[in-house]
A and B are shown apart, each in its own frame.
Chain A
Amino acid sequence: MNSFWLVFGSVSYLLVLFFVANWAEQRSARRRSLVNNSYVYALSLAVYCTAWTFYGSVGRAAESGVDFIAVFIGPTITMPLWWVIFRKIIRICQVQRITNIADFVSARYGKSQALGVAATILCVIGTIPYISIQLKAISSGFGILTTANDTDSFPWIDKAFYISILLTIFTILFGARKLDANERHEGMVAAIAFESLFKLFAFLAVGLFVTFVVFDGFDDIVQKASTLIDLNKIFTIREEKTSDWFWYCLLASLAIMFLPRQFQVTVVENVNENHLRKALWIFPLYLLVINIFVVPIALGGKILLGTAVKADQFVLSIPLHFNEKVLAFVAYLGGFAASTSMIIVECTALTVMLTNNLVMPWLVSRTDFQRRFGGDMGQVVIMLRRFFIVLLMAGSYLYYKNVSDKYSLVSVGMVSFAAVAQFAPIVLGGIFWKRGSLVGAMGGLLVGGCVWFYTLIIPSMVSAGYMSPDILSKGLWGMEGLRPESLLGVTGLDNISHGTFWSLLLNILFYVVGSLLSQPTALEHNQAALFVDVFKYSKTYESSVAWKGKALVTDIKSLLTIFFGKNHTEETLQLYAKQNKLDLNTRYADSQVVNYAEKMLGGAIGAASARILVSSVAKEEQISVEEVIDILKTSQELKTLNEELTRKSEELEQLTQQLKQANELLQIADIQKDDFLSTVTHEIRTPLTSIRALSEIVHDNPDMDEEQRSHFVNTITKESERLTRLINQVLALERFETGKQELDIDEFLMEDIVEESLETLDQLAKEKNIKIEVTYEGIYDPIRADRDRLIQVIINLVSNAIKFCPAETGKIQINTMQTDSSLSFSISDNGQGIDNKYQELIFEKFYQTRDQSVRKPKGSGLGLAICKKIIELHQGTIKVESELGKGSVFTCEIPLNKN
């Protein structure tokens, strides 16, 4: 095939691509976005399938069977997790205007410039080999097609060189045309989606040709191949390979999340987070379809071409073998599409990273940058990006010339995968674990990166001849444990799995331990909360103030104008002010506006640079240092305040609980009071009724006989006394219960008060002819107590005993026992006794008016309650022992205080 036509075809293809991109951007400008569509979004994710998939899978399948599929199985299995992971990352990036993965980790860990730099360097070093294999694929494809036609006389020096230049130009056209605060490239996405469709089409065309034209379906190929090779050996996973399989799957599922180009299409270019939903099944479907014909092509190539042609080239060689030039050309363009899409997106993502994280922070922190670069910083940024695209392509070309040429597509690709997999701990940790800190992230990334370099790059440098092979066989400094391909003597894994294992293990270890041991700054603390709880804060973030910079409105405007131009700046600021009801016609900008400006700049030049720039404007007010301290203090105060509030609310809860209990007690007390009141009124009404009835009778019947009259009048007197007694007792009880009653301590002999009490009761006892005996035991000393109250107790208990004793046979015994430390006295009778179940209750006021099985002589029902109160005031106890029908014993015990 003539190379002229090939060049013409390639350039034409690129022009078509460019046309698609332009069309998409025009539609986007007219607000009829082509990219705002979940199918386009899903197809753009297929930028994952590069030349490696297009050529390399077949090569890998022919060499080592089903191994190739691990790279697609991994992402397919983990895809459902994307809904949790990427919905969050997309939201975070939208809210914080994050445009690449280096910016993401930098912003998460306290807007650290150093972390951004480290992440960028790792990405660049990790992906340059990957870009280089795309160059390799294109140029070797080109070579295959042209060598088939030896009449070619075009003066090629080095095909890959020219291809690199061509792709550089196109990448610049796609990815670095204008500066945007969102860093979104709708044209590029549309083009990528188109390329995904085209490469699928091309690959399927070859697959169908091989399977159904050359052979007679899948069965035919397999049957024919089985006579040539041991299929069983190739198409089963050998046992010793299972751990490699695991590591490949893991590696692929991590890489597809954190490869710069995947982050670009999945997160940065995402228009609507709901597109993710559909992509979660369309994208795996795409992977499945593009892999259907890998094995047939690989087997077909083996059958037809044997080992004469490298398996990596079967996709092109088989059509050529049958002289199907058009098909071969389509296949070549498919590979070209796979390569170019990868190069364009990868370079765009990397250059944004390089400018925003490496150059801009340094540039904008120079005090004279504005003077130097004049008013149009936007142009400077664009130029920088173009410069970096050139640099990246040059680097990839050189890598290709010196290293990649010696390796298969797949093995170089896996090395890149392992590099970006180093982002997994700090990104995933960053969005789910608030404790993850800058120290841990830096440690994890650096250690992981270094181990990656040592275990995976050093061996390739050795085989490229840049280093002595001694390091592989003897280890660094001759230490066997440090051999790059078997650290600490670990063997049994292939070099990719081995490198992945060690780098990820140490990465995670340093990240976790570093995070746990370090104390995050206030800014880290805030950012961690904003990332992990993004769904909680995303609504309020726009209006929240993370930076209380004080800056002139004009300064803010001129700063934005430098990057976005006068019109765009004015429009955006007016819109924001209107939405948030802010006034822009003030001298100083509202802190929300300052914040918004920083975010807008952050989208264009990275979070770290934006922070430097905005603080430079605020610096004129000489507040930057104080401001920073202020921020730290504010967040510290907020934290303390928050803790304080939490504690307060806990206290409040306890208090509420206590109040509730108190309220319950009050309610009980209220019920008791009601009971008491109705009992008292009943007790008062009863004697009143008798008094009224009897006095009316005496008055109305002047002719009644004298004896009866005097009996009635006597009864009236007795009932009046009963009433008086009752009232006195209620009042006394009230004094005891409210604590108003105090003891009037006196010194006296126990014998004296017993005698005195008995004198009062003498008449009552004699009426029933009851005998009372008294005994005194123990020491005979005066005691200190309230004399009158103790007499009250004795009278009460003895009069009760008299009431309950049968007349004539009644017997009452009073025993006192006095020691140094206590006095006890008991009153026993041979009366009717008290049922066991009432013994506790009789000390309660008005108990007698309630449930009573045996009628007893009237009392106020307050006597025993008062006795109990008096004894308790003396720190003593009162108790009753009794059995129904056998009398009762009331015993009081009082401690005697010698002083």
Chain B
Amino acid sequence: MKILIVDDEPNILMSLEFLMKKEGHKVFIARDGAEAFDIIEANIPDIVLLDIMMPKVDGYQVCEFIKKHDAYKHARVVFMSAKSKEADVSKGLELGASLYVPKPFSTRELMAKVNGLIKDIAQAAA
């Protein structure tokens, strides 16, 4: 699986990168929305772990970008955000995200959810 992690917080990038790599995925990281665009275009990830509050281009815009293009829209988007109000969550899901994980999160739960998505992708392919 090709997994893209987008967050402006280097420590979070570091920990998620470690976890995903350990599971054997191909990991890309972006420190803001603009970087994310380039990586998406170049590598077409299967799963995108996406922070919302980032400088320049925020997570919502990245999600919209993904879902707008036929080439990438199959990618599963998982929002990770400190914004945990009902309205934020529903906005994220309306944009086409598969999951919304509030920060701070448990890495174990996050991994379980990502694994669930991977299973879905496999089934959809079959």
A647 at the B interface (CB under 8 A) = no
Q: A694 contacts which chain B residues (CB < 8 A)?
A: 11, 14-15
Are A689 and B55 in touch, CB under 8 angstroms? Answer: no
B31 on interface, CB distance cutoff 8 Å: yes
Question: Complex: how many Å from CA A414 to CA B44?
Answer: 114
Question: Nearest CB to that of B22 among chain A residues?
Answer: A701
Contact of B82 among A682, A693, A712 (CB under 8 A): A682
Choose from B56, B82, B104 the contact partner of A692 (Cβ within 8 Å): B104
Contact A693 B16 (CB under 8 A): yes
- The listed residue (A689, A708, A853, A855) touching B12 by CB distance below 8 A is A689
Residues 702-749 (chain A) with a chain B CB within 8 angstroms: 708, 712, 715, 719
Contact yes or no, A681 B82, CB < 8 A: yes
Instruction: Answer yes or no: A766 CB below 8 A from chain B CBs.
Output: no
**Cβ < 8 Å to A, chain B residues 1-35:** 8-9, 11-12, 14-16, 18-19, 22, 31-32
Q: Is A543 an interface residue (CB 8 A)?
A: no
Chain B, range 46-96, C-beta contacts under 8 Å to A: 53, 55-56, 82-83
Chain B residues in 8 Å Cβ range of A693: 11-12, 15-16, 104-105, 107
Task: Let me know if B8 and A690 touch, CB within 8 A.
Answer: no
Query: In the complex where A686-B9, A689-B105, A696-B108 touch, is A855 in contact with B15 (Cβ < 8 A)?
Result: no
**Residue from B9, B32, B105, B107 with most neighbouring chain A CB atoms (10 Å):** B107
Decide yes or no whether A871 CB sits under 8 A from chain B.
no
State whether the Cβ of A488 lies closer than 8 Å to any Cβ in chain B: no
- Shortest C-beta distance, A129 to chain B (Å), equals 96
What residues on A are CB-neighbors of B53 within 8 Å?
Answer: 682, 849
Q: Is A232 an interface residue (CB 8 A)?
A: no
**Interchain CB contact under 8 A, A685 and B32:** no
Given A696-B108, A700-B108, A686-B82 contact (CB < 8 Å): yes
Q: How far is A849 from B55 in the complex, measured between Cα atoms in Å? A: 8
**B13: nearest chain-A partner, CB-CB:** A690
**Bound-complex Cα distance A521 to B56 (A):** 81
B103 contacts chain A at the CB level, 8 A cutoff: yes
Q: Contact check, B103 vs A685: say whether CB atoms are below 8 A apart.
A: yes
The verdict on B106 contacting chain A, using a C-beta distance below 8 Å, is yes
Q: Is the CB of B104 within 8 A of A855?
A: no
- Residue A697 is within 8 A (CB to CB) of chain B in the complex: yes
A855 touches B32 (CB 8 A): yes
The answer, yes or no, to whether A852 is at the interface (CB within 8 Å) is yes
Q: Which residues of B contact A852 (CB under 8 A)?
A: 55-56
A302→B106 CA distance, assembly (Å): 128
By a CB distance below 8 angstroms, the chain A residues around B83 are 682
Beta-carbon contacts under 8 Å, A651-689 to B: 681-682, 685-689
CB-CB under 8 A from B19, the residues of chain A are: 697
Among B8, B11, B19: residue with most chain A CB under 10 A: B11
Which of A681, A686, A701: most chain B CB closer than 10 A?
Answer: A686
Given the known inter-chain contacts A682-B53, A852-B55, A853-B56, please indicate yes or no for A690 contacting B11, CB distance below 8 A. Answer: yes
Residue numbers in B under 8 Å from A697 (CB-CB): 15, 18-19, 107
With A685-B103, A697-B18, A701-B22 as given contacts, are A855 and B31 in contact (CB-CB < 8 Å)?
yes
Chain A residues within 8 Å of B9, by CB: 686, 689-690
CB distance from A50 to the nearest CB of B (A): 92
Of A681, A690, A852, A853, the most chain B CB neighbours within 10 A belong to A690
When chains A and B are docked, how far (Å) is the Cα of A688 from the Cα of B103?
8
Number of B interface residues at 8 Å Cβ cutoff, please give it: 23
Return the contact of B107 from the options A681, A696, A715 (Cβ within 8 A). Answer: A696
CA distance A855 to B57 in the complex (A): 12
Q: Are B31 and A686 in contact (CB under 8 A)?
A: no
- Closest residue of chain B to A715, judged by CB? B11
Q: Which residue of A lies closest to B31 (CB)?
A: A855
CA distance A688 to B15 in the complex (A): 13
In the complex, the chain B residue whose C-beta lies closest to that of A856 is B55
Please classify how large the interface on chain A is, using the bins under 10, 10 to 19, 20 to 34, 35 or more. Answer: 20 to 34
**Contact A690 to B12, CB < 8 A, known contacts A685-B82, A697-B19, A701-B22:** yes
Residues of B within 8 A of A855 (CB): 8, 31-32, 55
Residue of A nearest to B15 (CB): A693
Chain A residue at minimum C-beta to C-beta distance from B107: A696
Counting chain A CB atoms within 10 Å of each CB, the highest count among B15, B18, B83, B106 belongs to B15
Q: How far is the CA of A694 from the CA of B13 in the complex (A)?
A: 11
Known contacts A715-B11, A852-B55: A689-B18 contact under CB 8 Å: no
How far is it, in angstroms, between the C-alpha of A686 and the C-alpha of B15 when the chains are bound? 13
Taking the nearest CB of chain B, how far is it from the CB of A64, in angstroms? 96
Give the distance to chain A from B72, nearest Cβ to Cβ, in Å: 25
Bound CA span A581–B124, Å:
92
Q: In the complex, A691→B104 CA distance in Å? A: 9
* Bound form: Cα–Cα A654–B11 in Å: 57
A682 to B52, CA, bound (A): 11
Distance in Å from the Cβ of A701 to the closest Cβ of chain B? 7
Shortest Cβ gap from A138 to chain B (Å): 102
Choose among A686, A696, A715, A849 the residue that contacts B103 (Cβ–Cβ < 8 A). Answer: A686
Which residue from B16, B18, B22, B104 sits with its C-beta under 8 Å from A688? B104
Name B85's closest neighbour in chain A (CB-CB): A678
CB distance from A624 to the nearest CB of B (A): 80
A230 to B75, CA, bound (A): 118
- For B31, what are the chain A residues with a Cβ–Cβ distance below 8 Å? 855
Closest to B56 in A: A853
**Residues in B whose Cβ lies below 8 Å from that of A696:** 106-108
Q: How far is the CB of A858 from chain B (nearest CB, A)?
A: 8
Given A682-B82, A696-B108, A855-B8, decide whether A690 and B15 contact each other with a Cβ distance below 8 A.
yes
For residue B107, which residues in chain A have a CB less than 8 angstroms away from its CB?
692-693, 696-697, 700
Complex formed: what's the CA distance from A690 to B18 in Å? 13
Contact call B12/A692, Cβ cutoff below 8 A: no
Question: Distance (Å) between the CB of A848 and the closest chain B CB?
Answer: 10
B31, chain A: closest CB distance, angstroms = 7
Q: Which residue of A681, A687, A689, A853 has the most chain B CB atoms within 10 A of its CB atom?
A: A689
What's the minimum C-beta distance from B83 to chain A, rounded to whole angstroms? 7
Q: Which of A694, A696, A853 has most chain B Cβ within 10 Å?
A: A696
Please give the distance in Å from B41's CB to the nearest CB on chain A: 21
List of B residues within 8 angstroms of A853 by Cβ: 55-56
Closest Cβ–Cβ distance, residue A153 to chain B (whole Å): 122
Q: Which residues of A contact B106 (CB under 8 A)?
A: 692, 696
User: Most chain-B CB neighbours within 10 Å: which of A691, A694, A849?
Assistant: A694
- Smallest CB–CB gap between B58 and chain A, Å? 11
Chain B residue nearest to A681 (CB atoms) is B82
Q: Please determine whether A689 and B22 come into contact, CB atoms closer than 8 angstroms.
A: no
A687, A688, A697: most-surrounded residue (chain B CB, <10 A) = A697
Give Cα distance in the complex from A712 to B55, angstroms.
25
- CB nearest to A708 among chain B residues: B18
CA separation between A693 and B83, bound complex, in Å?
Answer: 18
A685 cross-chain contacts in B, Cβ below 8 A: 82, 103-104
- Out of A682, A686, A715, A854, which one reaches B14, CB within 8 Å? A715
Known A715-B11, A855-B31: A689·B104 in contact at CB below 8 Å: yes
Q: Which residues of B contact A682 (CB under 8 A)?
A: 53, 82-83
**B22: chain A residues within 8 A (beta carbon):** 701
What is the bound-complex CA distance between A692 and B56, given in angstroms? 27
Q: What is the CA–CA distance of A682 and B8 in the complex, to the nearest angstrom? A: 13
Instruction: Give Cα distance in the complex from A854 to B12, angstroms.
Output: 20
Q: Which residues of A contact B (CB under 8 A)?
A: 681-682, 685-694, 696-697, 700-701, 708, 712, 715, 719, 849, 852-855
- Ranked nearest first, the 8 interchain pairs of A and B with the lowest CB-CB distance are A690-B11, A685-B82, A689-B104, A693-B15, A689-B103, A688-B104, A682-B82, A696-B107
21 interchain pairs, CB-CB under 8 A:
A685-B104, A686-B9, A686-B12, A686-B82, A687-B11, A688-B103, A689-B82, A689-B105, A692-B104, A692-B105, A692-B106, A693-B12, A693-B107, A696-B107, A697-B15, A697-B19, A697-B107, A701-B22, A715-B14, A852-B56, A853-B55
Q: Contacts A686-B9, A690-B11 given; 18 further ones with Cβ under 8 A?
A: A682-B83, A685-B82, A685-B103, A688-B103, A689-B82, A689-B103, A693-B11, A693-B107, A697-B19, A700-B107, A708-B18, A712-B14, A715-B11, A719-B11, A852-B55, A852-B56, A853-B55, A853-B56
